Chain A
Amino acid sequence: MIYAVSDKLSRKRLKELLSDGMDVRVEVTDDTKRYYLDTFDWRLLRSGMVLEVEVRGGLCLLTWRELGSGELLLSRTVRTLPKSADDFSNVGQQPRLKQVLGRRRLLAHASLRGSTHRFLLLNDDEKTLMRVELRRDKVISSDSSAYTQMQDGVYFFPYRGYDKIFSHRLRRIAKGAKLSPPTEDPLISALAALDITPGEYSGRPTFSLDPARPSIDALAEILGRLLQIIRCNVKGAREDSDPEYLHDFLVAVRRVRCLMSRFESVFPEERVKLLQRDFSWVEQEATRIRDLDIYISRFEDFRAGVDEEYREALNSLYSFLQGEKQKKLWQMRVALESSRYLRLIESMDHLLQGCKDADTLPPTASIAIDRAACNGIWNSYRVLVETARGLPATPRSERIYELHQISKHLGYQMDLFRSLFPSKRMERQIRAHDRLQRRLNRFRDIDLQYRRLQSYITRMTKAQAVREISMEAVKQLIADRKREQRKARSRAVIQIEHFTRKKMRKRFKSMFKQPPKGGAV
């Protein structure tokens, strides 16, 4: 529980109020370092939670609490600052944290320095019955050049099984010292002091579109938001502070490309072609690192695929992948800092601004968005069905790649235009598509891993002397990937057949072939 302190409350008075005839031990830490952790897109904060870490004597005291009320969800001492939900592997709340954080990394958004007076209420056996902390913190700016003093706060920590004494002392202190709940959570105050506005970001924006709206307007709105996401994530992607920056960046780029290619007749032709070419270049640069990121993040699963005695020997492959990633990252950094990239973003801005000028637009720009969306989705689905026609039981990888690409475009359109269609039916179609996309993604990932491993093994031997055991381990891994690839291929084929079957075709046709009532121009 958190309370704001009135100016008149001294430490002596607080001790008196807490003690009430019992012993109180006071511990003072003059130089407390405290951090607020969250993902770059504020997942914890948006779920109404705060993760706070206090560094004390080489250990980190982790406090996970509710935003505002300060109710304690977890308190633990850990040796190192947790970087992701995986670092909570022994902590029973991990599933809940994992659900909120996903694969995202925890970043320190605000750092505080200050002093903490810790008051421990003890019984006759010197057992702690409750803890009260008086915190005097200042928020340090990111370059450590300035600080802002925060309002003093009193934090109450209950001990299980001693609830009565806790509520009694809490009432007594709150009344005696005239404590009041703070007007805002200390995290919010700290962020405000740093000029950070949290909680605005979403990597998967949703749009509520008016079906009758001219498509150029609606597309400009969507592209504008996607451009915002690109801008938000480019720095994090360059610095590689969390692989999810790059993920969101890449997804936004792919969505932009998809919309521009599917709806190219809506935009001025010449400009769109140039933009398409440059976005394709950005996507290529980013995809290479994303593929390596997936490889590295799932490396422990790969390890499990080889015999136990060879697992350690895969370390040389792991270091090789890390090295590869650094090289590609450097290339991507150069690309994303280049004038070509800056020009691209600028041109995109111009294009979106130009969307308001009706004279320069082609006549198709005024078609209602629901009709355009129907056409886009239906055409993509039709192409998917056509491409999948006569698919053998074990198709070539290139054919599945092609289907993967078409399916992705279909998925993006269904997701971005979902508000234009009856929600229940649309959700059902999206779920069916998600199942297909998952299978296709898995096949693509495994197939790429299998192919690249073969080239890595050649390059590894060229670059350094690789031990025989490591070579054997990589060979085993290749065999394992080959097995997985076979499984993933047949599963993908089954799902493709399922998604293009007659019943599904009928559903798509009824939903998307004809524009919904009332929306057509």
Chain B
Amino acid sequence: MKIMATHNIKGGVGKTSAAVSLAYLAACDGYRTLLWDLDPQGAASFCFRIKPKVRGGVKSLKRDPFSLEQAVKATDFEGLDLIPADFSLRNFDRIFTRTKNPTRHLARLLTPLRQEYDLLFIDCAPSISLMAENIFHAADALLVPLIPSTFSVRTYHQMLDYFHKNPPKKLQLLPFFSMYDKRRQLQRDLVASMSDEVREMLNTSIPYAKNVELMGVERAPVNQFAPTSRSAVAYRNLWREVKVRALDDYTL
């Protein structure tokens, strides 16, 4: 199983939309896909109409690693399952901090699911915390949505600094621009300069579009309810790029 997480220290940058859309597109491509909503806000679970509730909460995961298997719910889409969010996830750091190897719990929890799925997408909460460190340890690729703004770019550099100090074993960084408004000169300039500067930057940018916001109203991935829209096309291109970069040498 290949693990990909959408992460950014900054909130409201399009992590959930990217995770939901990419997971949906992966399932459409025939990959057995699982999406884990690790954000206590539970937006990804809401998008798939699944109640953000895990029986026993995060404590049960500490007690019994196999309980994660029981938390899996099928979505309405073939080949796509989801582990819903739970409000108790906000206590993740507190519960796991005083344990042995505190940054490796997530990877251990995923062991029973490794044979069952080809791909796991993790929708992360915006922070650098113990949970984020767990994700960095478990994931193979980190998808980082960036709004083309100075603040957002600054947080990306903060993240890079963090990785310089704490280099992860196998993590591949895949940043891309999200909520990109082409009409703004400042954003255009920033996208151009960042694309030159950051070698790993993906070529696809997700536009700032109504349809992405509508995902919360329609409660479905944009590629499902508006497959020909600009944003759906952008997510499709993004998925293609991610496949080439992160799954190319990966035999399922």
Tell me the A residues contacting B by CB distance below 8 Å: 61, 75-78, 88-92, 94, 123, 125-128, 159-162
Interface string of B15-39 (1 = CB under 8 A from A): 0000000000000111110000000
A residues in contact with B116, CB < 8 Å: 92
Q: Is the CB of A78 within 8 A of B30?
A: yes
**Taking the complex as formed, is B244 at the interface, i.e. its CB lies under 8 A from any CB of chain A?**
no
Q: Is the CB of B252 within 8 A of A161?
A: no
**Taking the complex as formed, is B73 at the interface, i.e. its CB lies under 8 A from any CB of chain A?**
yes
Q: Is the CB of B74 within 8 A of A159?
A: yes
| 16 A-B pairs in the complex with CB atoms less than 8 angstroms apart | A75-B78, A76-B78, A77-B78, A77-B79, A90-B29, A90-B118, A90-B252, A91-B31, A92-B252, A125-B50, A159-B74, A160-B74, A160-B81, A161-B72, A161-B81, A162-B74
Tell me the bound Cα distance from A123 to B219 in angstroms. 14
Interface size of B in residues (CB-CB distance below 8 Å): 22
Known A126-B49, A162-B74; 20 more pairs at CB < 8 Å: A76-B78, A77-B28, A88-B30, A89-B252, A90-B29, A90-B30, A90-B118, A90-B252, A91-B30, A91-B32, A92-B117, A92-B118, A125-B49, A125-B51, A127-B50, A127-B76, A128-B76, A159-B73, A160-B74, A161-B71
B residues in contact with A76, CB < 8 Å: 30, 78-79
Chain B: minimal CB distance from A119 (Å) = 14
Known: A78-B30, A91-B32, A92-B252. A161 touches B78 (CB 8 A): no
B residues in contact with A94, CB < 8 Å: 252
B residues in contact with A61, CB < 8 Å: 78
B residues in contact with A128, CB < 8 Å: 76
User: Which of B29, B73, B78 makes the CB contact (< 8 A) with A162?
Assistant: B73
With CB as the reference atom, state the residue of chain B lying closest to A120. Answer: B76
Tell me the bound Cα distance from A75 to B50 in angstroms. 20
Tell me the bound Cα distance from A88 to B28 in angstroms. 13
Most chain A CB within a 10 A radius of its CB, from B30, B71, B252: B30
Tell me the bound Cα distance from A350 to B71 in angstroms. 68
Known: A90-B118, A92-B252. A160 touches B28 (CB 8 A): no
Interface string of B217-233 (1 = CB under 8 A from A): 00100000000000000
Tell me the bound Cα distance from A191 to B29 in angstroms. 32
Tell me the bound Cα distance from A126 to B74 in angstroms. 14
With CB as the reference atom, state the residue of chain A lying closest to B247. Answer: A90
A residues in contact with B31, CB < 8 Å: 90-92
B residues in contact with A123, CB < 8 Å: 49
Question: Which 10 pairs show the lowest CB-CB distances between chains A and B?
Answer: A161-B73, A90-B30, A127-B49, A160-B74, A159-B74, A125-B49, A92-B32, A128-B76, A92-B118, A77-B78
With CB as the reference atom, state the residue of chain A lying closest to B73. Answer: A161
Tell me the B residues contacting A by CB distance below 8 Å: 28-32, 48-51, 71-74, 76, 78-79, 81, 116-118, 219, 252
Chain A: minimal CB distance from B183 (Å) = 36
Chain B: minimal CB distance from A359 (Å) = 64
Tell me the bound Cα distance from A481 to B30 in angstroms. 35
With CB as the reference atom, state the residue of chain A lying closest to B46. Answer: A125
Known: A75-B78, A78-B30. A125 touches B73 (CB 8 A): no
Chain A: minimal CB distance from B25 (Å) = 12
With CB as the reference atom, state the residue of chain A lying closest to B118. Answer: A92
B residues in contact with A162, CB < 8 Å: 73-74
Chain A: minimal CB distance from B121 (Å) = 15
Tell me the bound Cα distance from A127 to B118 in angstroms. 24
A residues in contact with B252, CB < 8 Å: 89-92, 94
Tell me the bound Cα distance from A483 to B81 in angstroms. 47
A residues in contact with B71, CB < 8 Å: 161
Chain A: minimal CB distance from B218 (Å) = 11
Tell me the bound Cα distance from A161 to B81 in angstroms. 9
With CB as the reference atom, state the residue of chain B lying closest to A78. Answer: B30
Tell me the bound Cα distance from A269 to B77 in angstroms. 68
B residues in contact with A92, CB < 8 Å: 31-32, 116-118, 252
A residues in contact with B117, CB < 8 Å: 92
Chain A: minimal CB distance from B119 (Å) = 9
Tell me the bound Cα distance from A90 to B119 in angstroms. 10
Tell me the bound Cα distance from A174 to B32 in angstroms. 31
Tell me the bound Cα distance from A127 to B76 in angstroms. 7
Tell me the bound Cα distance from A76 to B28 in angstroms. 8
With CB as the reference atom, state the residue of chain B lying closest to A126. Answer: B49
With CB as the reference atom, state the residue of chain B lying closest to A87. Answer: B30
Known: A77-B78, A78-B30, A92-B117. A160 touches B72 (CB 8 A): yes
B residues in contact with A127, CB < 8 Å: 48-50, 76
Known: A88-B30, A90-B30, A91-B32. A161 touches B74 (CB 8 A): yes
A residues in contact with B74, CB < 8 Å: 159-162
Tell me the bound Cα distance from A333 to B231 in angstroms. 53
Q: Is the CB of B32 within 8 A of A125?
A: no
B residues in contact with A77, CB < 8 Å: 28, 78-79
Tell me the bound Cα distance from A77 to B72 in angstroms. 21
B residues in contact with A75, CB < 8 Å: 78-79
A residues in contact with B81, CB < 8 Å: 160-161
Chain B: minimal CB distance from A162 (Å) = 7
Chain B: minimal CB distance from A476 (Å) = 23
With CB as the reference atom, state the residue of chain B lying closest to A90. Answer: B30
With CB as the reference atom, state the residue of chain A lying closest to B77. Answer: A77
User: Which of B29, B30, B78, B219 makes the CB contact (< 8 A) with A125?
Assistant: B219
A residues in contact with B32, CB < 8 Å: 91-92
Chain B: minimal CB distance from A452 (Å) = 31
With CB as the reference atom, state the residue of chain B lying closest to A77. Answer: B78
Tell me the bound Cα distance from A92 to B33 in angstroms. 10
B residues in contact with A159, CB < 8 Å: 73-74
Chain A: minimal CB distance from B247 (Å) = 9
Tell me the bound Cα distance from A88 to B81 in angstroms. 19
Tell me the bound Cα distance from A90 to B118 in angstroms. 8
Tell me the bound Cα distance from A161 to B72 in angstroms. 6
Tell me the bound Cα distance from A78 to B71 in angstroms. 27
Tell me the bound Cα distance from A76 to B31 in angstroms. 9
A residues in contact with B48, CB < 8 Å: 127
Tell me the bound Cα distance from A98 to B15 in angstroms. 37
Tell me the bound Cα distance from A89 to B32 in angstroms. 12
Tell me the bound Cα distance from A102 to B62 in angstroms. 43
Chain B: minimal CB distance from A142 (Å) = 30
Tell me the bound Cα distance from A136 to B76 in angstroms. 24
Tell me the bound Cα distance from A488 to B32 in angstroms. 38
Chain B: minimal CB distance from A170 (Å) = 16
Tell me the bound Cα distance from A90 to B26 in angstroms. 9
Most chain A CB within a 10 A radius of its CB, from B76, B81, B118, B219: B76
Chain A: minimal CB distance from B244 (Å) = 14
A residues in contact with B219, CB < 8 Å: 125-126
Tell me the bound Cα distance from A75 to B49 in angstroms. 21
Tell me the bound Cα distance from A89 to B49 in angstroms. 30
A residues in contact with B29, CB < 8 Å: 90
Chain B: minimal CB distance from A179 (Å) = 24
A residues in contact with B76, CB < 8 Å: 127-128
